[in-house]
Every structure is written in C-alpha cells, then in structure tokens.
Amino acid sequence: MTLMEKMVATDQPLLKVEGLTKRYGPRIGCLDVSFDLYPGEVLGIVGESGSGKSTLLSCLAGHQRADLGRIAYDGRDLLAMSETERRRLGRTDWAYVHQNPRDGLRMGVSAGGNVGERLMAVGARHYGEIRGKAADWLGRVEIAGDRIDDRPSAFSGGMQQRLQIARNLVTSPRLVFMDEPTGGLDVSVQARLLDLLRGLVRDMGLSVIIVTHDLAVVRLLAHRLMVMKDGRVVEQGLTDQVLDDPQHAYTQLLVSSVLQV
C-alpha cells in the first residue's frame, strides 16, 4: 500500500450513521441522528435522562432495530446484515460496556473466566496464555491478582464495573460502546480508567462512543461531543468548543448547571 493509499484508507469513517430514527409507538426514542466516527476517535453523547442517548447507543450496537436510517460499519451496511454476521462482528470487532455490570458479566463464572471467555470466543486455546492475559487485564483495572478465581457476585459494584471493562477490552476491539461506564465508580478508580482508555485510544486507534451525563469525564476523554434532548441532537462539535462556547439554549443550561469543585 502506498502512503497515499494509506492516507485515503485512514480517512474513511469507521462508522457512518445517517438519519437514524427509533420510535416507541407515538413516543420518540431518537430522531434523525447523523454522524461519522473515525478510527481513533472518541465521541461523547450527553443529555439528561430520557433524552434518547441510551436508545441511540443500543440501536447503533444492534441491540434494538432502528425504524429508519442507515448505519455503515467499515463500509458495510449494518441494517442489511444477517444476525449471524452481526453477532460475529460483536465478538471480533466490537465491545459493549453496560451501565449495570451485571448485564455485561457472567455472574456465575470466576473473574478470570469472565475475561478468558472472551479470548476463547475469538480462538485463544492455550490455558496458560489465557490466564496470563486475564491476570494482566485484571491488574490494569486494579483488581488484585488473588481475586482472579472469585466470582463477580462477591465483588463490589465498582469492582464489577472494572471487571466488565477488562472483559470487553481484552480482545482489542476496534469499536467500543459505553453506557455510563464510570457512573458507579469511586473517583480515584474513574481517573485510572480514563487514563487507561486514553492510552488504548492512542496506542490501538480504538474508536469509542461513550454515553454519560458526566461533563468532566467527556472533557478529558471525548474528542467530539453530541448533545441530545428529546431524542434529537441539538448540538455537536469539538468537545471543548461545545463546553466552553455552547450555542444551543439547552447546552448552555447544561454547562452552567455543573457544580464547580
């Protein structure tokens, strides 16, 4: 591949979303959402509860079927894809970090097993290597090595969330969906996770879509920001521009409502 071809190749969005709409009967889930996400980019989605940000995320990840619109992943039409193909993509290319760690973990399987299982799903077979890699990832999310054989049901909520993140990132996905991932965490652990995620984005070219209501988290993590209200995107742009010079009335209210620490 010549340098020019490489430049053209990296200039293609990993995810291209056009006019995505989801209704629940007469109620709007999300309406006419469009954006591009490039490799190595972190997109933050903020908005109050019920603004449609979680609906949008689950439509993007294929957990719900959108009524209208188009989603292209790496040039492939997601909505036209068979269920089998989409599931394979979910295993090899994507990761989804749920708000509630119980939705993303297998509670009856050990911590090490939760991480190792994902490796086996993409073909890892050597027990020692799987356990070694699982131990490495538990360390990265600050779970002590002697807890590797404990079940997540014996963990605190914050530890469960860290375990879920390790389970999701161990297979080096290209695209990670995160729904309020730092919500239940101690601020000190939250900081460690932010640093970890930034490093992965930088070194692995990871793309991330993160839904949160925490503006401090998006300022440190997201390159771009989308603000949602009543199912619609009311403003999007560079993260510090949206936060420092918000244009829409709702964004101005949101930004001015944050308590200073």
Partner 1 sequence: MIRIESLSKSFTLHNQGSTVIPVMAGAALTVNPGECIGLTGQSGAGKSTLMRMVWGNYLAAEGSILVGETDVATAAPRQIIALRRDTLGYVSQFLRVVPRVPTLDVVAEPLLALGTPAPQARDRAADLLQRLNIPERLWSLSPTTFSGGEQQRVNIARGFAHAYPALLLDEPTASLDAANREVVLTLIEEAKARGAAILGIFHDEGARGRVCDRLVDVTGFTPKAAA
Residue 214 touching partner 1 (CB under 8 A):
no
**Residue 90 vs 158, nearer CB to partner 1:** 158
- Rounded-to-integer distance, Cα 148 and Cα 202, Å: 28
Chain length of the chain: 261
Q: Using CB under 8 A, which of 49, 82, 256, 260 touches partner 1?
A: 256
Interface with partner 1, residue 154, by CB under 8 A = no
User: Which of 156/188 has CB closer to partner 1?
Assistant: 188
Instruction: Report the phi/psi class of residue 47: left, alpha or beta, with left for phi > 0 and alpha for psi in -120 to 50.
Output: left
Residues 73, 17: Cα–Cα separation, whole Å: 9
Q: Which of 68, 120, 121, 187 binds partner 1 (CB under 8 A)?
A: 187
Partnered with residue 124 across adjacent β-strands are: none
Distance separating alpha carbons of residues 10 and 171, to the nearest angstrom:
22
Which one, of 242, 248, 233, lies nearest residue 19 by Cα?
233
Closest CB to partner 1 among residues 147, 248: 248
- Closest distance of CB 154 from partner 1, Å: 26
**Region binding partner 1 by CB under 8 A among candidate stretches 15-23, 94-102, 170-178, 215-223:** 215-223
- Contact between residue 47 and residue 246 where contact means Cβ atoms under 8 Å apart: no
Which spans of this chain sit near partner 1 (rule: CB under 8 A)?
A: 38, 41, 187-188, 191-192, 194-195, 198, 202, 219-220, 223-224, 237-238, 240-241, 243-245, 247-249, 252-253, 256
